[in-house]
A and B are shown apart, each in its own frame.
Chain A
Amino acid sequence: MTGKPRVVLVDDHSMFRAGVRAELGDSVEVVGEAASVSEAIAVIRHRAPDVVLLDVHMPDGGGQAVLAGIGGGLPDTRFLALSVSDAAEDVIGVIRAGARGYVTKTISAAELAEAIGRVADGDVVFSPRLAGFVLDAFRDAPVVPSVDPELDQLTPRELEVLRLLARGYAYKEIAAELFISIKTVETHASNVLRKLQLSNRHQLSRWAADRRMV
């Protein structure tokens, strides 16, 4: 990634868009904004940005609808989900729809800029909360026989990385802790994300609903 990432902001609150734009300042180049799903699809198609900051909740469908609308049309555009909601089904839903990371709106400006940069470089962004959700979803539940069992389990190393992410460690700190390179940490994280997106273990789709009933 050379130069500043080109970013499109999608959020139905103009005040929030203005705030993010001001906070990010010079660290990114904001090439477009959208306040609704249809507007977002049009702007993203037109500008083909590096990164889309995507609100999970919008009146006419939200982040998942935008991801569905774009489909596989723009392989070089990456999506970073941004939400005030902590609801597990929202988070897992938007990741499974294709977002490359999830952060909450209370994130600091510096952290957000870093997250955008990382997504633009093709890496994934795990907030501690997202890591916690994934750990919960892949937790000790029995695995049903499936086409690709590899997708339905996390390796011990991936679990270690996820635990450290959930504890609030940065990639650099994880690398130091596990005596591996930052690049390896990134690989583990993106493998976890891929499994989260592709795994067909039924817990993932039903998990969010189930755990609310416990």
Chain B
Amino acid sequence: MLYRRDHYRIGGVCGGIADHLGVRVWPVRIVFVLLNIAGGLGLVLYVAFAIVLPRRPGADPRSKVPAWVEYLLAALTVLATFALVFDRLPARTVFVPALLACLGGALIWRQASSQQRDMWWRASRTSLLSSPTERGGRIRLAVGAGLVIAAAATVFAGRNVSIGLLQNVLLAVVVTLFGIALITGPWWVSMVGQLSDERRERIRSQERAEIAAHLHDSVLQTLALIQRNAGSSREVARLARGQERELRNLLYGEPSTPDQLAEALRQMAGEIEDAYAVTIDVVLVGDVRLDDRLSALVAATREAMVNAAKHASVATISLYAEVGASGVETFVKDRGVGFVLDEVGDDRQGVRGSIIGRIERHGGQVRIRSTPGEGTEIAIRMDR
């Protein structure tokens, strides 16, 4: 990366280029001086580099030349320019007042606080860049255009204005504009840089605001609820688990749509965790789009987990789902009290209706293994 040098004599350009190329600084300076033979190309290039090249970020630029020398040179340059212009320019009667006005303006600009400058800057921008519907901008534009036309009219109406004089004036104007561009160039460049920095900062702060909003809405609320329910360990566990799930989703969330098996199972496990204050270990291998039969599988799996949460008296339930080449299987396992299937009454909808009946209607199989005192595992399989 090419930077201007931090400790410089004129602009730090030659030093910066020398650093970048890994050569000594004197040859670079000589090249710039030699380039001046080609119609001052060296000078133009130097100024262009000084405007365009950035300083190393976080650098503290310092000139090697004493400050008074610089001021002296600047004063000499200004005086020489005055003398030259005053001597050459025919319209000297206009020139001196204009110069004084410019100096006055510059003084006011320097004295103004940065807020005022911002305001002026914005005001001057609105005349050209804002939509012409804005009233202030419209008036300013009209007045400016009127003044320009009036000036042109005056110039051409004066009989004793020769074409030569007009040329001189135009040349002076162009040179002045060029000078102003040179002087304010670095400022423009840094302005553009600042704008893009600002934009980046704005994006970053937006992201921060989003996370802060999430932390506030969800995490702080949960913490408040936990403090209010500190007496009930069941409630605290439920709240903490719900929050954990939400944060996990935010941090490691996998992109998935609700019409996919994995997402449907995850969502369902979350709902059951919330409703019954249990922890469900969800392990999923593979994924597939849901259809009618798989929706039935999800509903039956849900029923199995609700049963485990309600009747098994356990804190943890395992859910494993695998999408294989030949079919989809889910396993719901707990280490709870267990039951004997034959003792479950025919009137109980849960196991017989919602799990076995539903799955068999859709052509799947259910395997229930339960040992009283050791736990239950319900395996549901749906062929593809």
Interface size for A (C-beta < 8 A) is 19
A136 touches B285 (CB 8 A): yes
Contact with B along A128-171 (1 / 0, CB 8 A): 11011001100110000000000000000000000100111100
A184 at the interface (CB under 8 A from B): no
Q: Does the CB pair A166–B252 fall under 8 Å?
A: no
- Residue A181, interface by CB 8 Å: no
Contact of B285 among A139, A169, A212 (CB under 8 A): A139
Evaluate contact between B283 and A163: CB separation under 8 angstroms: no
Determine which of B252, B255, B279 lies in contact with A86 in the assembled complex, contact meaning CB atoms within 8 Å.
Answer: B252
Residue A87, interface by CB 8 Å: yes
B255–A132 CB distance below 8 A: no
A174 CB to closest chain B CB (Å) equals 12
A residues 39-86 near B (Cβ < 8 Å) are: 85-86
Contact A128 B322 (CB under 8 A): no
Contacts of B285 in A (CB 8 A): 132, 135-136, 139, 166
B240's closest neighbor in chain A, by CB? A106
Residues from chain A with Cβ under 8 Å of B252 in the complex: 85-87
* A212-B254 Cα distance, complex, nearest whole Å: 6
B333 contacts across to A, CB distance below 8 A: 167-169
> Are A167 and B254 also in contact (CB < 8 A) when A86-B248, A128-B281, A136-B285 are?
no
Chain B residues with CB under 8 Å of A212's CB are 254-255
B222 is an interface residue with CB less than 8 A from chain A? no
Central interface residue in B254, B284, B285, by most chain A CB within 10 Å: B285
Q: B333's closest neighbor in chain A, by CB?
A: A168
What residues on B are CB-neighbors of A169 within 8 Å?
Answer: 333
Give min CB distance, B92 to chain A, whole Å: 71
Q: How far is the CA of A87 from the CA of B94 in the complex (A)?
A: 76
- Contact of A167 with B286 at beta-carbon distance under 8 Å, contacts A85-B252, A86-B248, A212-B255 already known: no
Nearest chain B CB to A91 CB, angstrom units: 11
Q: A136: which B residues are within 8 A, CB to CB?
A: 285-286
Q: For the complex, count residues of B whose C-beta is within 8 A of A.
A: 18
Which residue of A is nearest B283, CB measured? Answer: A132
Interchain CA distance A129-B281 in the complex, whole Å: 8
User: Is B3 engaged at the interface, CB distance under 8 Å to the other chain?
Assistant: no
Q: Does B339 contact A (CB under 8 A)?
A: no
Contact of A167 among B284, B287, B318, B325 (CB under 8 A): B318
Contacts of B286 in A (CB 8 A): 136, 139
- Chain B residue at smallest Cβ distance from A136: B285
Tell me the complex Cα distance, A166–B255, Å.
Answer: 22
Q: Say yes or no for B377: interface residue by CB 8 A criterion.
A: yes
With A166-B320, A168-B318 in contact, is A132–B248 under 8 Å at CB? no
Closest CB-CB distance, A147 to chain B, in whole Å?
A: 27
CA distance in complex: A214, B289 (Å):
13
Closest approach, in angstroms, between the C-beta of B376 and any C-beta of chain A? Answer: 12
Closest to A163 in B: B322
Per-residue CB contact flags for chain B residues 318-332 toward chain A (1 = under 8 Å, else 0) read 101010010000010
Question: Which residue of chain B lies nearest to A213 when distances are taken between CB atoms in the complex?
Answer: B255
- Interface pair A167/B248, CB less than 8 Å apart: no
**How does the 8 Å CB contact mask read for A94-133 relative to B, with 1 for contact and 0 for none?**
0000000000001000000000000000000000110110
**Whole-angstrom CA separation of A87 from B251 in the bound complex:** 9
- Chain B residue contacts of A166, Cβ below 8 A: 283, 285, 320, 322
Of listed A132, A135, A163, A167, residue having the most chain B CB within 10 A: A167
Please give, as numbers and ranges, the residues of chain A lying within 8 Å of B254 by CB-CB distance: 212
In the assembled complex, the Cα of A212 lies from the Cα of B281 at a distance in Å of: 20
Question: Closest chain B residue to A214 by CB distance?
Answer: B287
Note all chain B residues with C-beta closer than 8 A to A140: 325
- A106: chain B residues at CB < 8 Å are 279
> Can you list 16 A-B contacts with CB-CB less than 8 angstroms, sorted by A residue number?
A106-B279, A128-B318, A132-B283, A132-B284, A132-B320, A135-B285, A136-B286, A139-B285, A163-B322, A167-B283, A167-B331, A167-B377, A168-B318, A168-B333, A212-B255, A214-B287
**Which 3 pairs, one residue from A and one from B, show the smallest C-beta to C-beta distance?**
A168-B318, A132-B283, A167-B320
16 other A-B residue contacts (CB within 8 Å) besides A86-B252, A131-B283, A167-B283:
A85-B252, A128-B281, A128-B318, A129-B281, A129-B283, A132-B284, A132-B285, A136-B286, A139-B286, A140-B325, A166-B283, A166-B285, A167-B318, A167-B320, A168-B318, A168-B333
